[in-house]
Structure 1
Amino acid sequence: MSGDANPRPAGEGTTSRARLDRGRGALGPALELVHTGRAPTRSVLTAELGVTRATAGAVAAELEALGLIRVDARPGAAAGSQGRPSHRLELAEEGPVALAAQVHADGFRAALVGLGGRIVATTPSCEAVDADPAKVLGAAMDAGADLLRRTGRRCVGAGLAVPSAVTEPEGLALNPLHLAWPVGAPVREVFAERVRAAGISGPAFVGNDVNLAALAEHRHGAGRGARDLLCVATGHRGVGGALVLDGRLHTGSSGLALEVGHLTVNPEGGPCHCGGRGCLDVEADPLALLTTAGREPGPEGSLLHQANELIREEYGDPVVRTAAEALIDRLGLGLAGLVNILNPDRIILGGLHRTLLDADPDRLRAVVADRSLWGRSGGVPILACTLDHNSLVGAAELAWQPVLDDPLGALSAA
């Protein structure tokens, strides 16, 4: 007779181990579903993962044990609903964070970003950018480390957004035109060194600011649900673009795809840094609006802030309106060309372009429809970006990705 008072049926141990293995393999996909808001309940998680309720329950419990989500086992039923309500899945409010930093022509900022793209804390924007990348990134990481100390949060890694094409896999900033950084600055290497020097654990990642804005908006903002998403945005200077194809950020063979700022939209326009003339980069950015409106850039506030405020506060001025319409027409021409080439199912606009869309959405959509091959057969939805600090959120997404890929392994190694 066995010494076990409650012997297991034959094969039960093997079945339990198999369920556990399946559950652990589903941890990453499950976390991503909750992270992006696509699995608000355990029943939805079960359906999305294609597993049994028992496996989904085990997965949710494991993610909760890791401090990543919270399972509400007693949710209130909606009025008029029938049946037992499913367990709600929420992101843990006091869970780990990623440290994100963004550098632009008018300053830099650091932030702590939790799962779900939620900004937990930010530093004030610094308005000085040194010509030495190491000094800027060192200051940003010191500020971020201070945020971590003050909040007591666990950090999974760090991400950086820069206004430059970033080569893959080397991590070189090829065109940091408005930062006075050297061409080809090894920003990934420098950033990783500054992260370690600040005492921050976890891996370090670097990406182009508009690419990261698109990534954030696709997961948490105006791009959610789009399969092929085109994002075009002004930074504090210049114009950038990004593309999400079939749900994944498209950066090309070496990280340099979608340099949309160098599309010619005004052949008689001003010279561009690339050697051409009339590119979007110099015809549809904040400085272009101020110049076209006959306004001298002021000493206070960023060019982006000044341009946005000009439209919001003085759009009734005929000179300002005419300048804004000129930029809308140039932007629309560029977007139409991109629609013809890429055939996206949605376009989102950020920075000054979002403000231009808000000021005269019908004009912009009409220009795109008139100049694109497919515009007359329904058109492509053009929406404003919705996330505040979306490049910061996107930088954090880079740092969160290893956790989304393998929650148990990434958090065990951190």
Structure 2
Amino acid sequence: MSGDADPRTAGERTTSRARLDRGRGALGPALELVHTGRAPTRAVLTAELGVTRATAGAVAAELEALGLIRVDARPGAAAGSQGRPSHRLEIADEGPVALAAQVHADGFRAALVGLGGRIVATAPGCETVDADPAKVLRSVVEAGAELLRTTGRRCVGAGLAVPSAVAEPDGLALNPLHLAWPVGAPVRRTFAECVRDAGITGPAFAGNDVNLAALAEHRHGAGRGARDLLCVATGHRGVGGALVLDGRLHTGSSGLALEVGHLTVNPEGRPCHCGSRGCLDVEADPLALLVEAGREPGPEVSLLQQANDLLRTQYGDPAVRRAAEALIDRLGLGLAGLVNILNPDRIILGGLHRTLLDADAGRLRAVVADRSLWGQSGGVPILPCTLDHNSLVGAAELAWQPVLDDPLGALAA
């Protein structure tokens, strides 16, 4: 036998190959378990997949060979524990990344995001957004391409978060209200063209920023472990919502589900751009808080910061407290209606709504419980979003999804 020959018998090689073949269908589910932090060890992976320990070992080894995870076969035992600790499964430190891009009213940013939702690198953000979508998307993709050149990382694809409903199947931004972009701008196609022109490999995707924030929070943040997750959030203007059902983002038949901003919460309230009056969009956003508190709003690109600062530094002012209570009551009314319709097992709040929750969680929870059928039977947990840059991380999740679905197929493409 030569020194390069495989010392295993033919039977051993056949058995090992059979285990891997049986486990190939489990590669995607296994990677998702590690990606979302639900399988920190090989023992947990074995139990979650419902396979033998040998098959789980073959699956983990294949994911390691693909450069996606690292298997620590000699982890240290916890103090006081007995027996040999199970192999630890971790995200590979130098593994591939997704290019994530976000455009919002006060600028745009690019980042590289690895498995596990970890932001590997970010480009300096730009604070102005041109009226030409192609010019903006070209700039943000160029910033991402520079990050890839600098880090030398392999890219699996690219994802874009925009402050607009994105209609399927064409990827059109239907209501970029706080950008000077034309209605119906083909953001997905334009973004994909910019990605291709920059020489970046992998598919390109685009989605609504609140939808993507919800997806990121469900996999890596405050929504982890929820089955049916409702997310409601504010930016500088307006209110957005998203729903994750059984672990998948629910976007409806054409990508336009959960336009929660147009729930009426104050029939005699402010006129809304949709043609109605008293919508959550204009009754529970930063501008509404500032006006309600008698403050003169500054530039639109700083409305969220102004509102958050007002609540955090001047909540003792009676006018500010009354304004906050009015917004909490309106938000609670809207959430109660959504609870009645959707019956989520968890609600997470972002933007100004997270700050309102911090200011008076008891009042908000009481309004939701009082006005919702299911709230009275025990309450739905209402929690703040926890991830920094959750829309960016969510944009990366779009690009990671083909890899999670079929690691071998996606990385061999």
Q: TM-score normalised by the shorter chain: which range applies?
A: over 0.9
Unaligned runs of 5+ in 2: none
Aligned pairs, number? 413
Aligned counterparts of 2:154 and 2:10: Cα–Cα separation in 1 = 43
Q: Is the 8 A contact 1:105 1:237 kept in 2?
A: no
CA deviation after TM superposition for structure 1 residue 7, in Å: 12
Q: Check 1:148–1:8 CA distance in 2 against 1; reply closer, same or farther (3 A cut).
A: closer
SS at match of 1:383: strand
Contact (CA 8 Å) 2:131, 2:180: kept in 1 or not?
yes
Contact 2:211-2:241 at 8 Å conserved across structures: yes
Distance 1:7 1:65 in 2: 20
SS of match in other structure, 1:153: coil
Q: Map Cα deviations across residues 120-161 of structure 1 (whole Å, 9 max, x no partner).
A: 111222211111110111111111111111222111110001
| Residue 61 of structure 1, CA deviation | 1.1
Cα separation, 2, equivalents of 1:361 and 1:105: 29
Determine helix, strand or coil for the equivalent of 1:249: strand
Partners of 2:4 and 2:91 in 1: CA distance: 41
Describe the shift of the 1:6–1:355 C-alpha distance in structure 2 as closer, same or farther (beyond 3 A). Answer: closer
Q: Aligned partners of 1:139, 1:150: CA distance in 2, in Å?
A: 17
Query: Offset at 1:4?
Result: 15
TM-score with structure 2 setting the length: 0.95
d(CA) in 2 for partners of 1:200 and 1:146? 11
* Structure 2 CA distance for aligned equivalents of residues 286 and 144 of structure 1: 31
Alignment partners' CA distance in 2, 1:25 and 1:200? 28
When residues 314 and 7 of structure 1 are mapped into structure 2, their CA distance, relative to the original with a 3 A threshold, is closer
* Structure 1 position 71 matched with structure 2 position 64: no
Q: More displaced, 312-321 or 270-279?
A: 312-321
Counterpart in the other structure of 2:22: 22
In the TM superposition, residue 6 of structure 1 has moved relative to its aligned partner by 11
The offset of 1:163, in angstroms, is: 1.0
- Cα offset for 1:256? 0.6
**Partners of 2:236 and 2:300 within 8 A in 1:** no
CA contact (8 A) 1:100 1:159 kept: yes
Q: CA contact under 8 A between 2:172 and 2:184: conserved in structure 1?
A: yes
Deviations 1:310-339 (A, max 9, x none): 111111111111111111111001000001
Contact 1:97 1:114 in 2 (8 A): yes
The question of whether the paired residues in 2 share the 8 Å contact of 1:112 and 1:120 is answered with: yes
Note closer, same or farther for the CA distance 1:4–1:211 as it changes in structure 2 (3 Å cut): closer
Q: Structure 2 vs 1, CA of residues 236 and 198 (structure 1 numbering), >3 Å: closer, same or farther?
A: farther
Check whether the contact 1:104–1:236 (CA below 8 A) recurs between aligned residues.
Answer: no
- 3-state SS of the aligned residue for 1:156? strand
Instruction: Provide the C-alpha distance between the structure 1 equivalents of 2:409 and 2:10, rounded to a whole number of angstroms.
Output: 31
Per-residue Cα deviation, 1:105-130 (whole angstroms, up to 9, x for no partner)? 11111111110011111122221111
TM-score by length of 1: 0.95
Tell whether the 8 Å contact from 2:236 to 2:301 is kept in structure 1 after alignment: no
SS class of match (1:291) = helix
CA distance in structure 2 between the aligned counterparts of 1:96 and 1:301, rounded to whole angstroms: 34
Further displaced range: 57-66 or 347-356: 57-66
Query: Take 2:3 and 2:73, find their aligned partners in 1: how far apart are those partners?
Result: 37
Q: For 2:51 and 2:58, locate their aligned partners in 1 and report how far apart those are by CA, in whole Å.
A: 11
Distance 1:4 1:153 in 2: 32
Between 1:33-42 and 1:18-27, the stretch displaced more is 18-27
SS in structure 1 of the partner of residue 77 of structure 2: coil
**Percent sequence identity over aligned pairs:** 90
Query: What is the alpha-carbon distance in structure 1 between the residues aligned to residue 408 and residue 120 of structure 2?
Result: 23
Q: Which residue of 2 aligns with 1:204?
A: 204
CA contact (8 A) 2:105 2:301 kept: no
Structure 2 contact 230–348 (Cα < 8 Å) conserved: yes
Task: Structure 1: give runs of 5+ residues left out of the alignment.
Answer: none
Q: 1:7 to 1:150 in 2, by over 3 A?
A: closer
Structure 1 residues 179 and 231: alpha-carbon distance in aligned structure 2, compared to 1, 3 A threshold: same
2:103–2:161 contact (8 Å) kept in structure 1: yes
Deviation, 1:18, is 2.8
Q: Deviations over 1:78-107 (max 9, x none)?
A: 111111100000101211111101111111
1:392 and 1:232 map into 2 onto residues whose CA distance is 17
Deviation at 1:14, TM superposition (A): 5.5
More divergent stretch after superposition (141-150 vs 332-341):
141-150
1:23 CA drift (Å)? 2.1
C-alpha distance in 2 between matches for 1:7 and 1:202: 39
Give the direction of change, closer, same or farther, for the CA distance of 1:304–1:66 in structure 2 (3 Å limit): same
Residues 308 and 54 of structure 1: is their aligned pair in 2 closer, same or farther, counting only changes over 3 Å? same
